[in-house]
Amino acid sequence: MHRDEKDLLMGTVAARMKAKLESRFSPELLEIVDDSDKHKGHSGSSEAGETHFSVTITSSVFLGVNRVGRQRLVMKALSEELAGPVHALTIKALAPNEE
């Protein structure tokens, strides 16, 4: 699927997250997956979805920053979403050339 087509499939919350992460980290790689359908009926879930996400991001901003520090940077960038519609966020934050 072409990148523009993937962007069209994103919901409003995911699109805001994408814009914030791209602006803050200029990532080499950014993947945002809405996992909400896997959590239906669980605490924090919503019929509308966009409550549970997985983010994979690779950025040179993370060079020399430990795993917890990287997660804190991402959570700070998404603080508005985490205070509101996002109930759960899984973060995989990498520096270039890490797996």
The pLDDT of residue 3: 42
Task: Look at residue 18 and tell me if it is in a domain.
Answer: yes
Q: State pLDDT tens for residues 13-68.
A: 999 999 999 999 999 999 999 988 764 555 544 455 678 899 999 999 999 999 99
Task: Look at residue 42 and tell me if it is in a domain.
Answer: yes
Task: Look at residue 13 and tell me if it is in a domain.
Answer: yes
Q: How many domains does the chain have?
A: 1
Q: Which helix (H) or strand (E) holds 30?
A: strand 29-34
Residue 72 in this model has a pLDDT that exceeds 80: yes
pTM above 0.95, yes or no: no
Task: Look at residue 99 and tell me if it is in a domain.
Answer: no
List the CATH number of the domain containing 67. 3.30.300.90
**Which residues span the domain enclosing 16?**
3-94
The answer for residues whose C-beta is within 8 angstroms of residue 77's C-beta and 6 or more apart is 20, 21, 24, 25
